[in-house]
């Protein structure tokens, strides 16, 4: 028999379109910054990551909890199948987030994950740039011209005075369309280039957001003062930076326990060019001031962004609480 206390405990179901009505990109900046702050202040339940490869793609399972006025735990299951669009007309990334009450374990909500993932990833780069990029950064190179590249640029413009964008993608037609769209929408100069190195000489910021499994950029191309947001390496085989860059730069990570297993740091440790102890800081430590951010205009700083359940859970909490208040979504009772 189902306990009486569970008979009326409903789970809220939310679609991607409903989430986009509830939270906009601008809402994620404070959410993710606060999530990293809570983690650094030991006000979280910790995080976990599981990665499963399949013949045509991969699954990421990320879980983590935050202690706010209430305690919540979020679990995200994302499937990354990067030929889906071409083969089946399906999204390359699909998934869900399950948000639970951290005190009694009740499933509070099940929601589409991609809207939150896209926006929290861009917002996290912006938060990192606020602390780690030169504050007068005007030129950025974006490598990877998909949805995430767009969100990365839109996010950076919120925290830096970006005026010029160099755009590069393996698909030059895609890069051209990106440049035209972003120039018009964001009122910036956008220039397509054939290689990352072409734009870096005059760039203040580099964002790599690709599914690459081999280095896209070498240390010879890195100018003094560059801030690099390495966003793509979220599984063990992915890599965007030559490991020698890590040996020469100040390295800040989202979560060290995660980056040493799946991020750019993972490849650097494996190659023997950097150790876990040589990592300068986690982002949360910089946010709360226990570690320094940028200390000169000359230093090169790498932000190894593997993407964590902290960000997902922060977004899911905000979506859930606002959805309950605004009566979005549909309720379902799993225990009836």
pLDDT tens for each residue of 264-315: 999 999 999 999 999 999 999 999 999 999 999 999 999 999 999 999 999 9
How far is residue 123 from each of residues 108, 117, 119, 159, 278, measured CA to CA in Å? 25, 10, 6, 10, 26
pLDDT in tens, 81-109: 989 988 999 988 999 999 999 999 999 99
Do 35 and 132 lie in one domain? The reply is no
Q: Provide the token pair at 256.
A: 């060290």
pTM for the full model?
0.93
Q: What is the pLDDT of residue 8?
A: 58
Do 14 and 151 lie in one domain? The reply is no
The active-site residue, picked from 43, 62, 70, 76, is 76
- Torsion angle (degrees, nearest 10) of CA 204, 209, 212, 217: 0
Task: Centre a 10 Å sphere on the Cβ of residue 299 and count the other Cβ atoms it contains.
Answer: 16
pLDDT in tens, 144-203: 999 999 999 999 999 999 999 999 999 999 999 999 999 999 999 999 999 999 999 999
Q: Average pLDDT over the chain, rounded to whole? A: 94
Quote helix, strand, coil % in the chain, to nearest 5.
Answer: 40, 25, 35
Q: Which domain range does residue 32 map to?
A: 4-116+311-332
Do 316 and 197 lie in one domain? The reply is no
pLDDT in tens, 197-239: 999 999 999 999 998 999 999 999 999 999 999 999 888 899 9
Is 121 buried (19+), middle (13-18) or exposed (0-12) by CB count in 10 A?
A: buried
Per DSSP, the three-state class of 147 is: helix
Q: Is 130 a catalytic residue?
A: no
- The overall longest dimension of the chain from CA atoms, in Å, is 68
Q: What is the pLDDT of residue 2?
A: 41
* CATH number of the domain encompassing residue 149: 3.40.50.720
Do 288 and 210 lie in one domain? The reply is yes
Do 98 and 161 lie in one domain? The reply is no
- Span of 27-31, 75-79, 234-238 with lowest mean pLDDT: 234-238
Through-space distance between the first and last CA atoms of the chain, rounded to whole angstroms: 10
Per DSSP, the three-state class of 26 is: helix
Q: What is the pLDDT of residue 335?
A: 87
Do 303 and 316 lie in one domain? The reply is no
Do 158 and 217 lie in one domain? The reply is yes
Q: What is the mean pLDDT of residues 55-80?
A: 94
Q: How confident is the model at residue 252 (pLDDT cuts 50, 70, 90)?
A: very high
Q: What is the pLDDT of residue 4?
A: 44
Say if residue 46's pLDDT is above 60.
Answer: yes
Do 97 and 165 lie in one domain? The reply is no
> Distance (Å, rounded) from C-alpha 248 to C-alpha 124?
23
User: For the chain, how many structural domains are there in total?
Assistant: 2
């Amino acid at each position: 028999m189902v306990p009486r206390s569970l008979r009326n405990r409903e789970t809220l179901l939310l679609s991607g379109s409903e989430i986009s009505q509830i939270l906009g990109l601008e809402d994620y900046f404070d959410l993710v910054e606060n999530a990293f702050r809570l983690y650094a202040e030991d006000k979280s339940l910790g995080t976990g990551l599981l990665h499963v490869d399949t013949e045509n793609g991969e699954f990421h399972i990320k879980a983590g909890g935050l202690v706010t006025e209430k305690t919540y735990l979020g679990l995200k299951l994302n499937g990354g199948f990067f030929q889906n669009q071409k083969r089946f007309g399906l999204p390359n990334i699909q998934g869900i987030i399950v948000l639970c009450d951290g005190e009694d374990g009740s499933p509070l909500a099940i929601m589409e994950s991609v809207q939150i993932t896209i926006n929290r990833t861009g917002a996290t780069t912006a938060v990192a740039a606020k602390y780690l990029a030169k504050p007068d950064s005007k030129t950025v190179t974006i490598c990877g011209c998909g949805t995430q590249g767009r969100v990365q640029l839109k996010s950076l413009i919120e925290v830096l005075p970006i005026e010029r964008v160099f755009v590069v993608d393996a698909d030059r037609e895609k890069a051209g369309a990106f440049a035209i769209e972003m120039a018009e929408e964001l009122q910036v100069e956008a220039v397509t280039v054939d290689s990352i190195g072409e734009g870096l000489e005059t760039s203040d910021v580099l964002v790599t957001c690709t599914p690459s499994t081999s280095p896209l950029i070498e240390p010879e191309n890195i100018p003094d003062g560059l801030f690099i947001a390495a966003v793509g390496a979220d599984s063990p085989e992915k890599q965007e930076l030559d490991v020698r860059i890590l040996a020469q730069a100040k390295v800040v990570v989202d979560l060290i326990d995660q980056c040493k297993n799946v991020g750019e740091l993972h490849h650097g440790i494996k190659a023997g060019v950097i150790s876990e102890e040589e990592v300068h800081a986690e982002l949360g430590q910089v946010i709360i001031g226990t570690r320094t951010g940028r200390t000169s205009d000359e230093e090169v700083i790498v932000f190894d962004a593997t993407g964590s359940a902290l960000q997902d859970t922060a977004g899911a909490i905000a979506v859930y609480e606002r959805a309950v208040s605004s009566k979005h979504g549909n309720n379902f009772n799993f225990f009836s």
